[in-house]
């Protein structure tokens, strides 16, 4: 049963399992105690820190273990902001950071701080120059992921780090998705990561803070982990995390190249096999194991459900798969289609046959979902409008959820002449993203949107072909 | 090799180990995902929550899992204080709470809040009436442990909860030391605990917040654990924590009675076997497995080291065993001797023979430490002073660490006549606690202390026998 959601959580690496078992017996005691069980625990903790620091590319005394990658980000952002309070209260983040960074930014803003979001291009990457330009007066901290968790696009971290260094602003890198593949290049100041993304156990994150970076841990603290991560150390899991990081690194070059080939196959074949698909994310500067695409006229939740029935576990940034019924902020920031969105992230060891079977199954699954939604077939240009066609049409999709507003638009675009307009009334959050994306994919003109008198928004599309 | 420090961390219960292993395979995926691995993880998480809630005595939707007991306390205190901001900013805690509670209180005070500490008696217990009286105008939250982690004394939680309820103040109970032995009685509002104290794995705490308690989680949050504990759930450890809590509860009555007998043996025999010992903590209203005593004229660190050489792992609240060189705040609040302090906390399954061997070994170890420090032998009354003895003596112990100031005092008390005084000059923090405690144990009069012109403090003792 192929599991293709390594970017959420990777199955436990055999080395992690082995190390965890061994340290359940050796590493349960308090490493702060002086008796033999405590000393043994301390040795394990020190060795794990050395190993993790080597993999990160920092000194052991710069690295602490946290209960999760999320907590590492929270502690890193709040500690760096507080440490740089005198410099100002401006926080610069990319628009496609992980939610843990954005949640930390929200807390900063709620406390009166300023947050500047650097936009991304359609591939999901920030422009290093634009990022540098955002490092305005009073910038206390900048945050940039090493690679995006939803679309796999690598960010220009080294260039941004250099720009940050030039103006004396520390850069925090969220390396959660990439650390298993290799160290983060460039002169970053803080780095956060999460063990269960590289095949380590849940319950372990890591936070590196370079010497010389002003850092003031926030909230209650204790003597553990240099005062940066309070609470009893989760030692067996920490040992397993460090051991598995070494192990995946040893395999990273070969396995990365192999998975990159499998992902290339998906990137190439999906648009050939499935009509009206947009593969998103940078095709070259990307994580080796991750690919994301969106399918027009498809309900993401149903698609995931059908793929699950076929034995494939994938995730989605479609609005209907989120509890808030809004599309992923990453897809939104990129301005790409969000409906029928599928993220495939291959765990190490994924068999090529499983990828092939996925490519076999996908077209039928998508066609089935589209069929049940009554989608107009094919991606051919719309038929010529009848001679007596009205110059404009209004489609009322108020109260209808993604992908219905776009399907309704596709159904009637052939009913207006070239030059005519279709106005879609919709209150679904995804329409704002997906109607312009549909226009880009189908070569029609997106005119704009405005508040609709009926409630919701009116999206205007002009037929151009 | 007997490990007698269960109050720091208990070795993993076999059921915890078994559950952890099983859920490493079944519970590594993201429980928020809809595919089969995610659904399986969700089922495990839900079942663990049900089991833990039943053991706590709350509803499943009132309980969240946190990365540690410390983090449960921090989240509970900050969330309850923020939720009750309108009621006021006064926080009431006992003087002998765990450091996690006191650290949270420090953060509250640093942010402008008020913190009131309720004192304890010599047994370590708060008086319920005094606690109730401290619930003054504007009290947002009260915190009381179920039982003390250093001396084992149970607190009158049910009575205090009733008093809190009477004035509409929520009570947070830190049940870290007692939850494995049974649910906390009484109408508490919030409860925190830590799995590795009951034989569960590290990396799991739990926080229960009763319905109706105003609660506003602080810091960045996400959708996990009702927004009260951000970050990917440490599911295998959570499953192991819940399973082992059920298991230790099933054994609690019988094992508690057995360990209580062993602790009674230590409580009775230590003062018979070792001269100048003070057994501290309530002899009856106490945890079944924990006993603490202090030995006059003994260096706690050396004592622990010697016991470790004999194969016994215990902890200590002596100043010389803390990184801050101050005696434990618990012993200080109780006003009992802190030098030569030993906490014995027996893990489930401790063999009676190991306790007997401890009692065999202890007298020689203590005598050895005392011998090396040149301690006056025996606890007999001091000799009569020579006829020409001065009416007062000054002992300069400035720069000398515990237990030297007390040893110097004991050496010269026989050199002044009954009615004469000895003044000890000392700058060691422990002297403030241990010189009065010595007076109480040896029937001499403690006159008081004042700043010494030489620096440090001058402690005045009058010879009465």
Q: Cα distance from A143 to chain B (closest Cα, Å)?
A: 16
The tens digit of pLDDT for each residue in B193-207 reads 999 999 999 999 999
Encoded tokens for A171: 């850069």
Angle separating helix axes A431-442 and A404-412, nearest 10 degrees: 40
C-beta atoms of A11 and B28 within 8 A:
yes
pLDDT at position A25 over 90? no
C-beta atoms of B37 and A78 within 8 A:
no
As for the ipTM of the complex, it is: 0.94
Encoded tokens for A225: 């982990």
CA A247-A249-A251 angle, 5° bins? 75
C-beta atoms of A314 and B234 within 8 A:
no
Neighboring chain A residues of B221 at a CB cutoff of 8 Å: 103
What stretch of H or E contains A451? Answer: strand A445-451
Q: How many CA atoms lie within 13 A of A434 on its CB side?
A: 37
Nearest Cα residue in chain B from A33: B315
Confidence band for B59, pLDDT divided at 50, 70 and 90? very high
Q: Cα distance from B221 to chain A (closest Cα, Å)?
A: 7
| A399 SS3 class | coil
Report how far residue A246's alpha carbon sits from residue A83's, in angstroms, rounded to the nearest whole number.
Answer: 32
pLDDT at position A389 over 80? yes
Report how far residue B240's alpha carbon sits from residue B235's, in angstroms, rounded to the nearest whole number.
Answer: 8
Position B382 scores a pLDDT of 82
Give me the DSSP letters along A267-298.
HHHHHHHSSSEEEES-SSSB-TTEEEEEETT-
What stretch of H or E contains A71? Answer: helix A69-83
Q: Using only the alpha carbons of chain B, give its radius of gyration.
A: 24
Q: Give the torsion sign (CA, B310, B311, B315, B320).
A: positive
Position A32 scores a pLDDT of 92
Selected residues 392-421 of chain A with any CB under 8 Å from a CB in chain B: none
Using a CB–CB cutoff of 8 Å, tell me whether B110 touches chain A. Answer: no
C-beta atoms of A5 and B203 within 8 A:
no
Domain at A392-462: CATH code: 3.30.110.40
Q: Cα distance from B29 to chain A (closest Cα, Å)?
A: 6
**Active-site annotation of A, residues:** 320
The tens digit of pLDDT for each residue in A435-465 reads 999 999 999 999 999 999 888 999 999 999 8
Neighbours of A111 (CB within 10 A): 10
C-beta atoms of B308 and A35 within 8 A:
yes
Neighbours of A388 (CB within 10 A): 5
Position B375 scores a pLDDT of 85
- The backbone region for B385, taken as left when phi is positive above 0, alpha when psi lies in -120 to 50, beta otherwise, is beta
What stretch of H or E contains A93? Answer: strand A90-94
Nearest Cα residue in chain B from A302: B34
C-beta atoms of B35 and A106 within 8 A:
no
Position A337 scores a pLDDT of 94
- Answer whether the bond into residue B106 is a cis peptide, omega within 30°: no
Using a CB–CB cutoff of 8 Å, tell me whether A100 touches chain B. Answer: yes
Position B385 scores a pLDDT of 84
Position A374 scores a pLDDT of 86
Neighboring chain A residues of B313 at a CB cutoff of 8 Å: 29, 33, 35-38
CA A302-A120-A125 angle, 5° bins? 90
Q: Cα distance from A121 to chain B (closest Cα, Å)?
A: 27
Phi, psi (rounded to 5 degrees) for A92: -110, 125
Q: Nearest by CB to B9, which of A28, A70, A100? A: A28
Encoded tokens for B239: 């499953």
Report how far residue A403's alpha carbon sits from residue B108's, in angstroms, rounded to the nearest whole number.
Answer: 49
The tens digit of pLDDT for each residue in A153-208 reads 999 999 999 999 999 999 999 999 999 999 999 999 999 999 999 999 999 999 99
Position B60 scores a pLDDT of 98
Q: Convert chain B into a string of H (helix), E (strand) and C (coil).
A: CCECECCCCCCCCHHHHHHHHHHHHHCCCCCCCCCHHHHHHHHHHHHHHHHHHHHHCCCHHHEEEECCHHHHHHHHHHHHHHHCCCCCCEEEEECCCCHHHHHHHHHHHHCCCEEEEECCCCCCCCCHHHHHHHCCCCEEEEEEECECCCCCEECCHHHHHHHHHHCCCCEEEECCCCCCCCCCCCCCCEEEEEHHHCCCCCCCEEEEECCCCCCCCCCCCCCHHHHCCCCCCCHHHHHHHHHHHHHHHHHHHHHHHHHHHHHHHHHHHHHHHCCCEEEECCCCCECCCEEEEEECCCCHHHHHHHHHHCCCECECCCHHHCCCCCCCHHHHHHCCCCCCEEEEECCCCCCHHHHHHHHHHHHHHHHHHHHHHCCCCCCCCCCCCCCCCCCEEEEECCCCCCCHHHHHHHHHHHHCCCCCEEEEEECCCCHHHHHHHHHHHHCCEEEEEEECCCCCEEEEEECCC
- What is the DSSP-derived secondary structure letter of residue A427? -
First to last CA, chain A: 44
Position A127 scores a pLDDT of 98
Q: Counting one residue from A and one from B, how many pairs have CB atoms under 8 Å apart?
A: 195
Q: Cα distance from A147 to chain B (closest Cα, Å)?
A: 19
Neighboring chain A residues of B328 at a CB cutoff of 8 Å: none
Using a CB–CB cutoff of 8 Å, tell me whether B194 touches chain A. Answer: yes
The tens digit of pLDDT for each residue in A266-325 reads 999 999 999 999 999 999 999 999 999 999 999 999 999 999 999 999 999 988 888 778
Distances (CA, A) of B31 to A74, A226, A290, A312, B43: 21, 32, 21, 16, 8
Report how far residue B318's alpha carbon sits from residue B150's, in angstroms, rounded to the nearest whole number.
Answer: 11
Mutate to test the interface with A, among B41, B48, B67, B345 (most CBs of A within 10 A): B67
Q: Cα distance from A115 to chain B (closest Cα, Å)?
A: 15
Selected residues 226-265 of chain A with any CB under 8 Å from a CB in chain B: 230-237
**Lowest mean pLDDT segment, chosen from A310-324, A412-426, B227-241:** A310-324
Average pLDDT, chain B: 95
Nearest Cα residue in chain A from B221: A103
Using a CB–CB cutoff of 8 Å, tell me whether A287 touches chain B. Answer: no
B250-373: CATH, from 3.40.50.1980, 3.30.70.3270, 3.90.1150.10, 3.40.50.300 = 3.90.1150.10
Report how far residue B401's alpha carbon sits from residue B319's, in angstroms, rounded to the nearest whole number.
Answer: 9
Encoded tokens for B28: 């590594």
A456 in Cβ contact with A426 (< 8 Å): yes
pLDDT at position B305 over 80? yes
Using a CB–CB cutoff of 8 Å, tell me whether A317 touches chain B. Answer: no
Catalytic residue among B58, B143, B164, B320: B320
> Residue ranges per domain, chain A?
14-221+228-248, 253-373, 392-462
Encoded tokens for A337: 């289609």
Q: What is the mean pLDDT of residues B8-33?
A: 93
How buried is B93 (Cβ within 10 angstroms: 0-12 exposed, 13-18 middle, 19+ buried)?
A: buried
Confidence band for A387, pLDDT divided at 50, 70 and 90? confident
pLDDT at position B25 over 90? no
A106 alpha carbon, distance to own chain's centre:
18
pLDDT at position A340 over 80? yes
Using a CB–CB cutoff of 8 Å, tell me whether B216 touches chain A. Answer: no
C-beta atoms of B34 and A71 within 8 A:
no
Nearest Cα residue in chain B from A102: B220
Report how far residue A442's alpha carbon sits from residue A409's, in angstroms, rounded to the nearest whole number.
Answer: 12
CA A172-A175-A178 angle, 5° bins? 155
Distances (CA, A) of B64 to A108, A239, B9: 25, 26, 21
C-beta atoms of B33 and A232 within 8 A:
no
Encoded tokens for A328: 């992923």
Confidence band for A377, pLDDT divided at 50, 70 and 90? low
Using a CB–CB cutoff of 8 Å, tell me whether A439 touches chain B. Answer: no
B14-248: CATH, from 3.40.630.40, 3.30.1490.20, 3.30.360.10, 3.40.640.10 = 3.40.640.10
Confidence band for B380, pLDDT divided at 50, 70 and 90? low
Position B379 scores a pLDDT of 59
- Answer whether the bond into residue B147 is a cis peptide, omega within 30°: no
Q: Cα distance from A108 to chain B (closest Cα, Å)?
A: 9
Using a CB–CB cutoff of 8 Å, tell me whether B111 touches chain A. Answer: no
Q: Nearest by CB to B107, which of A33, A219, A304? A: A219
What residues contact residue A432 under an 8 Å CB cut-off, 6+ apart? A449, A457, A459
What residues contact residue A261 under an 8 Å CB cut-off, 6+ apart? none
- What percent of chain A is modeled with pLDDT above 70? 99
Report how far residue A151's alpha carbon sits from residue A329's, in angstroms, rounded to the nearest whole number.
Answer: 12
Using a CB–CB cutoff of 8 Å, tell me whether A308 touches chain B. Answer: yes
C-beta atoms of A71 and B230 within 8 A:
yes
A14-221+228-248: CATH, from 3.40.630.10, 3.40.50.2300, 3.40.50.300, 3.40.640.10 = 3.40.640.10
How buried is B462 (Cβ within 10 angstroms: 0-12 exposed, 13-18 middle, 19+ buried)?
A: middle
Neighbours of A67 (CB within 10 A): 30
Confidence band for B273, pLDDT divided at 50, 70 and 90? very high
- What is the DSSP-derived secondary structure letter of residue A195? G
C-beta atoms of B230 and A9 within 8 A:
no
pLDDT at position B378 over 70? no
Report how far residue B424's alpha carbon sits from residue B319's, in angstroms, rounded to the nearest whole number.
Answer: 18
Q: Which residues of B418-456 are buried (b: 16+ CB within 10 A; e: fewer)?
A: eebbbbbbbbbbbbbbbbbbbbebbebeeeebeebeeeb
Evaluate whether the domain defined by A253-373 bears CATH number 1.20.960.40: no
Position A378 scores a pLDDT of 61
């Amino acid at each position: 049963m192929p599991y293709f959601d390594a970017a959420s959580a990777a199955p436990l690496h055999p080395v992690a399992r082995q190390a965890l078992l061994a340290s359940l017996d050796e590493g349960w005691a308090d490493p702060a105690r002086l008796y033999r069980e405590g000393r043994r625990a301390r040795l394990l903790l020190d060795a794990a820190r050395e190993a993790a620091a080597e993999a990160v590319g920092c000194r052991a005394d710069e690295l602490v273990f946290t209960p999760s990658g999320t907590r590492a980000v929270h502690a890193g952002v709040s500690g760096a902001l507080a440490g740089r309070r005198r410099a100002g209260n401006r926080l610069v983040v990319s628009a496609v950071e992980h939610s843990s960074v954005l949640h930390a930014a929200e807390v900063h803003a709620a406390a009166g701080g300023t947050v500047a979001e650097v936009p991304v291009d359609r591939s999901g990457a920030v422009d290093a120059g634009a990022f540098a330009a955002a490092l305005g007066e009073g910038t206390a901290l900048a945050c940039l992921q090493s690679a995006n968790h939803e679309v796999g696009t690598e960010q220009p971290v080294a260039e941004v780090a250099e720009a940050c260094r030039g103006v004396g602003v520390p850069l925090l890198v969220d390396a959660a998705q990439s650390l298993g593949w290799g160290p983060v290049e460039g002169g970053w100041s803080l780095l956060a990561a999460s063990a269960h993304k590289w095949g380590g156990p849940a319950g372990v994150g890591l936070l590196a803070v370079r010497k010389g970076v002003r850092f003031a841990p926030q909230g209650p603290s204790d003597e553990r982990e240099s005062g940066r991560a309070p609470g009893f150390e989760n030692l067996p899991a920490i040992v397993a995390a460090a051991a598995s990081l070494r192990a995946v690194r040893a395999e990273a070059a070969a396995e990365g190249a192999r998975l990159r080939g499998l992902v290339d196959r998906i990137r190439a074949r999906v648009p050939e096999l499935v009509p009206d698909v947009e593969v998103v994310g940078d095709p070259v500067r990307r994580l080796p194991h991750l690919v994301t695409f969106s399918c027009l006229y498809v309900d993401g939740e149903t698609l995931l459900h059908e793929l699950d029935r076929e034995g494939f576990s994938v995730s989605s940034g479609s609005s209907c798969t989120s509890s808030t019924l809004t599309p992923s902020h990453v897809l939104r920031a990129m301005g790409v289609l969000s409906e029928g969105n599928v993220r495939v992230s291959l765990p190490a060891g994924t068999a090529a046959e499983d990828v092939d079977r996925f490519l076999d199954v996908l077209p039928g699954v998508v066609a089935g979902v589209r069929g049940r939604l009554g989608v107009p077939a094919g991606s051919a240009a719309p038929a010529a409008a009848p001679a007596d066609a009205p110059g404009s049409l209004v489609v009322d999709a108020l109260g209808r959820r993604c992908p219905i507003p776009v399907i309704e638009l596709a159904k009637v675009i052939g009913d207006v002449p070239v030059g005519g307009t279709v106005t879609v009334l919709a209150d679904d959050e995804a329409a704002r993203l997906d109607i312009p994306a549909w226009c880009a994919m189908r070569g029609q003109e997106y005119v704009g949107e405005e508040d609709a008198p009926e409630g919701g928004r009116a999206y205007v599309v002009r037929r151009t072909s």
